[in-house]
Amino acid sequence: MIKSDYDNDSYNKLRDEILNYISNQSSRNPKQKRRFRHMLKTEEMVKKTVDNLKGKFHIKENCIRLAALLHDITKDYPESKQRNILRQIKIPKEDIMIKGLWHAWTASEIARTKFKISNRYILDLIRFHPTGHKNFDLGGLIFFISDFCEETRTHTGVEEVRKLLAKDVKKAGILTIKFKTGYLINDNAYLHSRGINFYNRLIQEGVP
Ligand SMILES: [Fe+2]
Ligand SMILES: [Fe+2]
């Protein structure tokens, strides 16, 4: 994991590029417009939470904000387009099996190829955003929770997680996993081992 964050100038330049690209892509598509708004709101929730921590922890805020702006960039791609990208990269079998995770891998690939992001920290945040990862640091955890509870989200548990996030990030993380896992179990869906390992890490060791 890299120690330094993106500097403000590189962040601002890249942010403008990403916003231009996404607004062009979504200009005539209402579904993509909603997705664009979700990514902006995830970024906003990350910022709000980091501000709330008042510099008490070292957080790579610019990296996390870039990951937030890119994480669902391919979610509305048709399956054939997702497959074409997946064919060019190495991805674990368990992730291939779960179609809902494909967009995380393809978004990370677009971040790498289209926006020339080689920063492993950002690419991993994007790649692992649906499940979380046992190596996520505090910033990664904030991003994972913000994706779940940004202010346009309305699903069950959102209010509760939002309130908790302002007080205790670790508890908000565990609650987010509980809600997300609960939806999957209700649907008799497969639980990815990465999500379970992430949960166990938080329960046993807390947030690094
Ligand atoms: Fe996603
Ligand atoms: Fe998302």
Q: pLDDT tens digits, residue range 78-122?
A: 999 999 999 999 999 999 999 999 999 999 999 999 999 999 999
Residues with CB under 5 A from ligand 2 (ion): 72, 147
In angstroms, what is the span from residue 141 Cα to ligand 1's centroid? 15
Assess contact for 31 and 145: CB atoms under 8 A: no
8 C-alpha vs ligand 1 centroid, how far in Å? 26
Report pLDDT for 55: 83
Yes or no: say if 57 and 138 are a contact pair by the CB < 8 Å rule: yes
What percent of the chain lies above the pLDDT cut of 90?
86
Smallest-distance ligand from the CA of 150: 2
- Give the pLDDT score at 206: 66
Task: Check: pTM over 0.75? Answer yes or no.
Answer: yes
Q: State yes or no: pLDDT of 208 exceeds 60.
A: no
Split at pLDDT 50, 70, 90, the class of 1 is very low
104 Cα: distance to centroid of ligand 1 (angstroms): 6
Sorted by where each starts, the structural domains of the chain and their CATH numbers stand as: 8-205 (1.10.3210.10)
Return the ligand number nearest the Cα of 148. 2
Summarize pLDDT for 29-76 with one digit per residue, the tens: 888 899 999 999 999 999 999 999 988 889 999 999 999 999 999 999
Cβ(119)–Cβ(82) under 8 Å? no
